[in-house]
Structure 1
């Protein structure tokens, strides 16, 4: 590009470089949204095909891509002495998930029995669990959340990390998933099961098109200004 009067060449080059970097960034963001679109579409299809059927037996080997949100039936015996509350916010308000270990065939299967509000954390007020458990398979949630981390030493849990839960409580072999228990319509009070999120917003395509459009518009503006300046 020919230098405009009063503008140093280095500044023109810098501006062009910044515009090129922005165009590449917009394209990469669009590509990322397209990958997210594929992931979200697969997730929605998986939920629709697995979560609403009759419960099946637990898989021999858990594969997250193949078994997440699969409705299962799990026999066993709850360890009533080791309940763990994991921080949660649901449509019912702030509170905790009630995680309890289910002992079956020499292994530990953690079960999310459901939501317990902040004012109902006394175990004496919880309904007794029912076996066999029916619910949806969910992969373990290691470490914590984006903003908070689990602190096993302080008994503070913000994600359902089943391996860490078993280690903290001295339990045996643990499967790499937990079961989100169904809601028991005959059970009054807390915990309240069946709160697994099964509907997902899918706006990734519109976001991707927005990023691509911004890249195209910026490229067009730079090309127009460059050609106009060269002609002058």
Structure 2
């Protein structure tokens, strides 16, 4: 086999592999956009009553409306907002009369004073969520300072004596200021497949260009 033929085969074979990877990422992009569209449709659906036995798999993002009394301690989860900087999500217990659940009331800046709980029965419209925010690198909560580093639904439920069910507020029936609700959305779900596809297609173009360069260089040397 001549060296020129070898370079051609390597060039075309490598480019085919890279283009194939790019096409695969385009297919993954279409799949991910379908998943996000489905999640957004679930988030924006009309609110319904809280299920008797919410399931983290089938009921994730389910829109619900709950009424009850917010009571007890409020847990602070350290977060950062793009336009606000550092702050806390406020997690409180709600007693609906028949059950106790967790409510994510929203965000306050770190410099803000801890707001009191509204008095009497209130209504929260939001979405069920079991966020996966903990891993082996997540620090344990600083219970003395009341600073948590992730929304660990199970541990928070044990701390506030509630069911492991979290409703993330979208709208509330009282003046929530200075708390700003942080509704559930898909902004934090990664979708980098377009960038990956562009990378693979770019590498394929570079691979072909380099193969062509070597062929031309060899032809000049042999001429």
TM-score by length of 2: 0.69
Task: Give the aligned CA root-mean-square deviation in angstroms.
Answer: 4.1
SS at match of 2:195: helix
Secondary structure, counterpart of 1:119 in structure 2: coil
Asked if 1:152 is matched to 2:144, the reply is: no
Q: 1:107: how far off?
A: 5.5
Say if 1:23 and 1:219, in contact at 8 Å, map to a contact too.
no
Residues 1:217 and 2:205 aligned together: yes
| Structural mapping, 1:80-159, within 5 Å | 80-90=71-81, 91-103=83-95, 108-124=100-116, 126-128=117-119, 130-143=121-134, 149-154=138-143, 155-159=146-150
1:180 matched to 2:164: no
The C-alpha deviation readout for 1:173-216, integer Å capped at 9, x for no partner, is: 423xx2111233751523222x3254749974642441232132
CA contact (8 A) 2:72 2:93 kept: no
In the superposition, relative to structure 1, how do residues 63 and 182 fare at CA in structure 2: closer, same or farther (>3 Å)? same
Name segments (4+ residues, structure 1) moved above 6 Å: 22-27
Contact 1:99 1:110 in 2 (8 A): yes
Check the 8 A contact 1:98/1:113 in 2, yes or no.
yes
For residue 171 of structure 1, the aligned residue among 161, 180, 184 is: 161
Distance 2:84 2:142 in 1: 29
Aligned with residue 190 of structure 1, among 151, 161, 178: 178
Asked if 1 retains the 8 angstrom alpha-carbon contact of 2:94 and 2:102, the reply is yes
Instruction: Report the secondary structure of 2:49's partner residue.
Output: coil
SS in 2 for 1:69: coil
Are the equivalent residues in 2 in contact too, given 1:107–1:174 (CA < 8 A)?
Answer: no
Instruction: Give unpaired runs (5+ residues) of structure 2.
Output: 5-9
Alpha-carbon contact 2:100-2:163 (below 8 Å) kept: yes
Relative to structure 1, the CA distance from residue 204 to residue 173 in structure 2 (aligned partners, 3 Å threshold; closer, same or farther) is closer
The unaligned stretches of length 5 or more in structure 1 are: 4-15
State how far apart, in whole Å, the 2-side matches of 1:186 and 1:74 are: 13
